[in-house]
Structure 1
Amino acid sequence: MASRERMASMDAAWLQMEEPANLMMITAVLWFDGAVDLERLRAVVRERLVERYPRFRQRVVPGPLGAPHWEDAPDFHLEEHLSTLRVPASAGRAGLEALVGDWLGVPLERSRPLWHFHLVRGAQGGDVLLARLHHCMADGIALARVLLSLTDPVDAAAEAAALETDVEARSEDSDTAAPSEAERRPQAPGWMRLAQGARSALRKGAELVREPILAGDLMREGAKGAAALGKLLVLPPDPRSGLRGPLGPRKLAAWSEPIALERVKAVGRTLGGTVNDVLLTAVTGALRRYLATRDAPLEDVHALVPVNLRPLDVPVPRELGNRFGVVFLRLPVHLAEPRRRLREVAKRMEHLKRSPEAVLTSGILEMLGHTPAALERAVVDVMGTKASLVATNVPGPRQPVSLAGTRLEGLTFWVPQAGHVGLGVSLFSYAGQVTVGVASDASRVPDPGALVSAFQEELDALETAAP
Structure 2
Amino acid sequence: MSLDAERMSRVDTAWLRMDNDVNLMMIVGVWLLEPGITLAALRRRVEERFLRYARFRQRAVPDLLGASWVEDEHFDLSRHVVTTKLPRRRGQDERAALKALCAELAATPLDPQRPLWQFHLIERYEGGSAIVVRLHHCIADGIALISVMLSITDGGAEPPKHPRHAHGQEHGHEHGHEHDWLADAVLRPITDLTVKAIGMYGNGVARSMEMLAHPQTRFLGSLAVARHGWQVVHDAAALALMTDDSPTALKGKPGGLKAVAWNEPLPLDTVKAVGKALGCSINDVLLACAAGAIGRYLHDLGDDPAGKEIRAMVPVNLRSSDKAWQLGNRFGLAPLVLPIGIDNPIERVYAVRQRMAELKGSYQPLLAFAVLAMAGFLVKPVQDAVLNLFARKTTAVMTNVPGPREPLKFCGSTLRQTMFWVPASGDVGLGVSVLSYGGGVQFGLIADTALCPDPQAIVERFEPEFEKLLWLTMMLPWPGEDGAAA
Q: Secondary structure at the match of 1:122?
A: strand
User: By how many angstroms is 1:389 displaced?
Assistant: 0.7
Aligned-pair CA distance for 1:217: 3.0
Match of 2:301 in 1: 294
- Secondary structure of the corresponding residue to residue 387 of structure 1: coil
1:203-235: CA deviation from partner (whole Å, max 9, x where unpaired): xxxxxxxxxxxxx93275322111001011111
Larger radius of gyration: 2
Runs of at least 5 residues in structure 1 that lack an aligned partner in the other structure? 154-158, 171-215
Distance 1:126 1:278 in 2: 33
User: Which residue does 2:373 correspond to in 1?
Assistant: 366
**Aligned equivalents of 2:127 and 2:280: distance in 1?**
35
Shift in Å at residue 321 of structure 1? 0.8
Normalising by structure 1, we get a TM-score of 0.83
- The AA in structure 1 aligned to 2:337 is R
1:138-153 equivalence runs, <5 A: 138-152=140-154
Go from structure 1 to structure 2 and tell me whether the alpha carbon gap of 1:11 and 1:447 turns closer, same or farther (over 3 Å shift): same
- Is 1:350 matched up with 2:357? yes
1:282 paired residue among 286, 289, 292: 289
Q: Distance in 1 between matches of 2:435 and 2:74?
A: 36
The whole-number CA distance in structure 1 between the counterparts of 2:234 and 2:138 is 30
Q: Deviations over 1:96-150 (max 9, x none)?
A: 1111111111010001000011011222132111000001111111112111211
Aligned position for 1:307: 316
- The residue aligned with 1:81 is 80
Paired residues of 2:28 and 2:133 also in contact (CA < 8 A)? yes
Alignment pair present for 1:382 and 2:389: yes
Superposed CA deviations along residues 361-409 of structure 1, whole A, max 9, x for unmatched, are 0111001000010011111111111111111111101111111111101
3-state SS of the aligned residue for 1:273? coil
What's the counterpart of residue 460 of structure 1? 467
CA contact under 8 A between 1:414 and 1:426: conserved in structure 2?
Answer: yes
Q: Is the 8 A contact 2:65 2:377 kept in 1?
A: no
The equivalent residue for 1:42 is 43
1:121 to 118, 123, 135: 123
Equivalent position of 2:256 in the other structure: 249
Q: Which residue is equivalent to 1:12?
A: 13
For 1:151, what is the secondary structure of its paired residue? coil
Report Cα offsets for 1:292-333 as digits up to 9, x if no partner. Answer: 11222410111110011011123522xx11111010001112
Q: Which amino acid aligns with 1:21?
A: V
User: Which whole-Å CA distance do the structure 1 matches of 2:338 and 2:403 have between them?
Assistant: 24
TM-score normalized by the length of structure 2: 0.80
Provide the alpha-carbon RMSD of the alignment: 2.1
Contact 1:37 1:404 survives alignment (8 Å) = no
| Offset of residue 67 of structure 1 | 2.5
The one-letter code sitting in structure 1 at the alignment partner of 2:402 is P
Could you tell me whether the CA contact under 8 Å between 2:422 and 2:432 is conserved in 1? no
In the alignment, is residue 97 of structure 1 matched against residue 99 of structure 2? Answer: yes
Deviations 1:225-280 (A, max 9, x none): 11001011111111221111111121000111122112211221333311111110
Equivalenced residue count is: 407
Structure 2 gaps, min length 5: 162-202, 209-227, 477-486
- In structure 2, the partner of 1:56 is 56
Aligned partner of residue 141 in structure 1, secondary structure: helix
> Which of 397, 400, 404 is equivalent to 2:404?
397
Contact 1:88 1:123 in 2 (8 A): no
Is the 8 Å Cα contact of residues 91 and 123 (structure 1) preserved in structure 2?
Answer: no
